[in-house]
Amino acid sequence: MLTMNKFHFIFDKTKKSQKVKKVLLKIYKNYTPSRASFIIVAGGDGFMLSNLKKHYKFNKPFYGINCGTFGFLMNKLKIKDFEKKILQSRKTIINPLSLIAIDKKNIKRKILAINEVSLFRQSRQTTALNLKIGKKNIIKRLIGDGVLVSTPAGSTAYNLSVSGPILNINSGKLAVTPISPFRPRRWKGKTISNNSIIKIKNLDCRKRPVAAAADNIEVRNIKLVKIKSNKKLKITLLFDRNKSLIKKIKSEKLKRDN
């Protein structure tokens, strides 16, 4: 098929993704990411998150084809109008979170998170965490299963399942949400500016070990984490015009409110 547009295709190993691969690669050439105009990811949300992190440096827009279950970051496949749908799609710019994690051996790791950073207990013992926003102590000692910091794009994922707020994509906000809090029991979390720097300290590394996860990347035995929105990094996601990320988030908000 003759086309001026160049696509780089990435397919998951699932049966559905491999079926899509056979169809699309009969029609389109698979260019390298550096030469492509668009990066096309066929899989589920987790597969998309992994590839956003792997390929964001190419500074190309991402279009997802849902071959998973929910597919919040993805679009439905229509072979007939495939190229037209991509060209007419709506752009959504997202800023990921930057996580700096320091473990109990003082080893430092830097990781990106598109949806959220979560801290959770890695033993039968509850966590004991200190939360700071900037220089302000917002919770001196949070006892529970953990806490997470979510972007607007991730606010309908893990954040929503632990009763966190749904954030509008252009809100300029982050959600800080406790996971099964025991003390203070009534603390429901906090919505903060995405200019904020969040510091979370494990108050008892020996007795109460804590793991941190940036989407699907986990670091164990955490002593301290620093989380902030990476304003310098802009990732472009493409959505079909009638199913934009803004509309998907509004739809989830209506479901929750009803």
How far is residue 205 from each of residues 116, 128, 199, 218, measured CA to CA in Å? 22, 9, 16, 17
Residue 84's identity, in one-letter code, is: K
> Rounded CA gap, 67 and 77, in Å?
9
DSSP state of 206: T
> Rounded CA gap, 43 and 66, in Å?
6
| 45 in catalytic set | yes
CA 197 to chain centre: 18
Q: Which of 12, 45, 103, 240 is catalytic?
A: 45
Q: Count of CB atoms within 10 A of residue 189's CB?
A: 22
> Rounded CA gap, 122 and 205, in Å?
11
φ, ψ for residue 2, nearest 5 deg: -80, 130
Those residues whose C-beta lies under 8 Å from the C-beta of residue 206, and which sit 6 or more positions away, are: none
> Rounded CA gap, 225 and 149, in Å?
11
* Catalytic (active-site) positions: 45
